[in-house]
Amino acid sequence: MYEHVRMARSRWLIATALACLAAAPVVRKPLLGPPAPGVPDLPKPYVDAVKAGEAALDRGDLKTASAEFTRALAVDLPEVPNYEVVIRIAEIKCLERAPDARRELAEFACMLDVDEGKRPCFERTADGDIGERSPAVTHQCFDRMCGELYLPYYEHPDRAELAAIRELRGELKRVGKICRPPG
């Protein structure tokens, strides 16, 4: 069951990455690309909210963009964590010079590390069972990324997933530059 979801997400991520590369040069990479053949569609409320958030952000309507990305973040995605829009929420906070903007970026970095398998969600007990929350993972990151349903998903990310994570790390770096204090 997990392998099917992993393969479907991988195909979708490849299609998204290719669409980003083929698009006219833009500063911000779109979060959604065209659906790949054989990949289950993302829930319509998620897609609609992300598209509306991206359009509002392009117009400079930060209030609407924030509301739409927050709405997208609330949608349950089938068997995968929903965290990619956190980078847009962080970007908006950076543009607004919100005091918690840098913390939001750090949370997104934690989420990327979990998705890539670099940070474990849980400590392991002496007999190898799942223990308590790992201190390497923040509470917000844990709540977003560390449901037991997702754990097999992080064990062996494939090339497409790693490529998508690299793209998101590029977005993290870009938004980090926006967040730097002026001067």
- The per-residue pLDDT for range 27-67, each reduced to its tens digit, is 788 888 766 555 567 899 999 999 999 999 999 999 999 99
User: Are 62 and 95 spatial neighbours (Cβ–Cβ below 8 Å)?
Assistant: yes
Lowest mean pLDDT among 15-29, 34-48, 113-127, 152-166: 15-29
CB 5 within 8 A of CB 153: yes
Number of other residues whose CB lies within 10 A of the CB of residue 16: 24
Return d(Cα 118, Cα 110) in angstroms, integer: 9
Looking at residue 35, its pLDDT comes to 60
Six token digits for residue 26: 């833009």
How far CA 169 is from CA of 59, 72, 131, in Å, comes to 24, 20, 29
Confidence check: pLDDT of 8 > 70: no
Rounded to an integer, the average pLDDT of 76-96 is 92
Label residue 104 by pLDDT band (50, 70, 90): very high
Contact 10, 165 (CB under 8 A): no
Which residue, among 109, 170, 168, has the nearest Cα to 144 in the 3D structure? 109
Burial group, residue 132, by CB count within 10 angstroms (0-12, 13-18, 19+): exposed
Mean per-residue pLDDT over the chain, rounded: 82
Residue 94 has pLDDT above 80, yes or no: yes
Q: Among 49, 51, 59, which Cα is nearest to 34's?
A: 51
Average pLDDT, stretch 77-100?
A: 93
Closest to 30 (Cα-Cα) out of 84, 97, 68, 101: 84
| Structure-derived torsion over alpha carbons of residues 134, 139, 143, 146, reported in degrees to the nearest 10 | -20
Provide the whole-model pTM.
Answer: 0.79
Which one has a higher pLDDT value, 112 or 156?
Answer: 112
- Give pLDDT, residue 36: 53
Alpha-carbon gap, residue 133 to 120, rounded angstroms: 9
Instruction: Show me where the domains of the chain are located.
Output: 2-179
* Least confident residue range of 34-48, 89-103, 129-143: 34-48
pLDDT tens profile 13-31:
444 433 433 333 347 888 8
> In whole angstroms, what separates CA 63 from the centre of its chain?
20
Answer whether residue 183 shows pLDDT above 70.
no
Segment of 31-35, 55-59, 130-134, 160-164 carrying the highest mean pLDDT: 55-59
Confidence at residue 39, expressed as pLDDT on a 0 to 100 scale: 56
Whole-angstrom Cα distance, residue 1 to residue 72?
25
What mean pLDDT is predicted for residues 136-159?
A: 87
